[in-house]
Amino acid sequence: MSVDSVPANREFAKQIGVTFPLLSDFKRTVVKDYGVFNEEQGFGNRATFLIDKEGIIRHIDEGNVAIDPNSVVEACNVLTHKKAASP
Amino acid sequence: MFIRFLASVVLLAVLGSVALAQQPAAPKQPAPPKTNLKVGDPAPDFTLRATDGNTYKLSDFKGKKNVVLAIYVLAFTGG
């Protein structure tokens, strides 16, 4: 997700070859709700949120840490294993 | 006369190096805002349009799937 328009994200997706849909927060409402809106620059700062099936935030990576997806992948694994283990 | 010229050259060199040394520190950026959300908080719901033409609502995944919301700075940039 970014604050780019849908057409801009579509072109970007084509360029980098992503197969999953990219979300567009053109009105900046979601980046504001998630507290990552950079007012000076007008965009959302880099961040990754892992949200579980109950809608609860289970993991947050912010800034340059969020470039590396390993920690959120690890958190996903922990979450899915936990869910699988519980009755 | 020569001494005076030499002194001014040295002075200029010193001033120049001071200016150069100060340059990298000059465009001081404020720290980027940190999210007020914490692990354990309910994720704010959203409805957004996507590149596939569909609209996605976070709460539609409730009870079905875990969701990773990855916010990248801008399209056409490195990440």
Q: What pLDDT does B20 receive?
A: 59
Phi, psi (rounded to 5 degrees) for A45: -70, 155
Which residues 6+ apart lie within 8 Å of A23 measured at CB?
Answer: A1, A2, A9, B48, B49, B50, B56
Q: Do A35 and B36 touch (CB under 8 A)?
A: yes
Contacts of A63 (CB under 8 A, 6+ apart): A45, A46, A47, B32
A-to-B residue pairs, Cβ atoms closer than 8 angstroms: 151
Least confident of A11-15, A71-75, A81-85: A81-85
* Chain B residues within 8 A of A76 when measuring between CB atoms: 66, 68
Query: Cα separation of B3 and B15, whole Å?
Result: 18
**E strands, A1-87, where?**
23-24, 37-38, 43-44, 47-51, 57-62
- Of A56 and B12, the structure prediction assigns the larger pLDDT to A56
Q: Which residue of A has its CA nearest to B50?
A: A23
- Span B5-17, pLDDT tens digits: 667 766 666 666 6
User: What is the radius of gyration, based on Cα positions, of chain A?
Assistant: 15
Stretch B44-72: mean pLDDT = 94
3-state secondary structure of B4: helix
CB-closest option in A15, A25, A60 to B37: A60
Q: What residues in B contact A32, CB-CB < 8 Å?
A: none
Q: Above pLDDT 70, what percent of chain A?
A: 94
Residue B28 scores a pLDDT above 60: no
Q: Which of A6, A46, A50 sits opposite B72 (nearest CB)?
A: A46
Contacts of B41 in chain A (CB under 8 A): 56-57
> Is B74 in Cβ contact with A37 (below 8 Å)?
no
Which 3 state secondary structure label does DSSP give A27? coil
Distances (CA, A) of B37 to A8, A28, A57, B44: 28, 17, 8, 9
Does any CB of chain B come closer than 8 Å to the CB of residue A48?
yes
pLDDT of residue B26: 47
Judge if ipTM > 0.90: no
